[in-house]
Amino acid sequence: MDQDARFARLCGEHFWRVMRITDGINTTSGRLLTPVASKSGYLRVCLQKNDKQLNKSVHRLVALHHIPNLENKPQVNHKDGNKQHNDIDNLEWVTRSENMRHAFDNGLTVAPKGEEHYKSFLSDDQIASIRLRYFNGDSQAQLANEFEIGHEAMSAIVHGTTWKHLPVLPWRKRITHSSVKGVTKHACGKWQAQTYINGKTKYLGMFDTEMEAANVVAQSNTAALPQAA
């Protein structure tokens, strides 16, 4: 049972009733309560009887007493976006996601970005580090494995498709000087080694010389060959 309803039941179902919807609540004593705007902009009143009291939002009390909530939705939305417009026709029961979508669609709030997004598990600093390391030679596969995210997600990060509010480093150039398949030279001066096994790329590391990278590729290819019976 909702906290509003529990308090109403405790004090008697006729303890309060909404009289002037935009002004406040009229109790059984006939006193009109004066609402106070909260820091978030919603009007609130303090309901009390004897030693029991509850500070509640006017719009929620209006909805609780006058708007059927057949789907048992948890939040009350102001249709016109005005937090102090508490007429019945301007209120509706909504889910959390419906409330957020209404706010985004009507410009009432800005969608959270980056680390502030509820689905994000990477920080802005980590994204900046990923992009710098990619520019300096680390492969997408290596970074994806280290940060435990998918390869498509990593590609979107380093190319700026996601996390657009953070700067993207200039596209790095790869210059291939080796005749060995799987060995490439990065702009940072190091040589990357990787192999292709069963259609998948396997990152083997970065090396100071072309010979080191080629040897690692050769060893990996040899190890992948079927062993003789």
Query: Considering the domain 3-105 in this protein, what is its CATH number?
Result: 3.90.75.20
Q: What is the pLDDT of residue 1?
A: 45
User: pLDDT (tens digit, 0 to 9) for every residue of the chain, 229 residues total?
Assistant: 455 554 444 333 333 444 434 444 444 455 566 788 888 888 887 776 667 777 788 888 888 888 899 999 999 999 998 988 888 899 999 998 898 888 878 877 766 667 766 677 888 888 888 888 887 778 888 899 989 999 899 999 988 888 888 888 766 555 555 678 888 877 667 788 888 777 777 888 888 888 898 899 888 888 877 665 5
Q: How far is CA 61 from the centre of its chain?
A: 30
| Paired tokens of 124 | 């802005």
DSSP H stretches of helix in 82-139:
96-105, 124-135
| Paired tokens of 10 | 């405790």
Polymer length in residues for the chain: 229
Indicate if the alpha-carbon torsion angle 137, 140, 142, 146 is positive or negative: positive
Q: How far is CA 45 from the centre of its chain?
A: 33
Strand partners, 56: 45
Specify the DSSP element, H or E, that contains 154: helix 151-159
At 24, give phi and psi (nearest 5°).
165, -155
| Distance, CA of 79 to CA of 97 (rounded, Å) | 15
Beta strand spans in the chain (E): 16-18, 25-27, 36-37, 43-49, 52-57, 75-78, 91-94, 174-175, 183-186, 191-197, 200-207
Indicate if the alpha-carbon torsion angle 34, 62, 44, 106 is positive or negative: negative
From 31, 30, 27, select the one nearest 61 (Cα to Cα): 27
SS3 state of residue 207: strand
| Distance, CA of 82 to CA of 66 (rounded, Å) | 19
Where does CATH 3.90.75.20 sit in the chain? 3-105
Strand partners, 183: 193
pTM: 0.43
Neighbours of 134 (CB within 10 A): 21
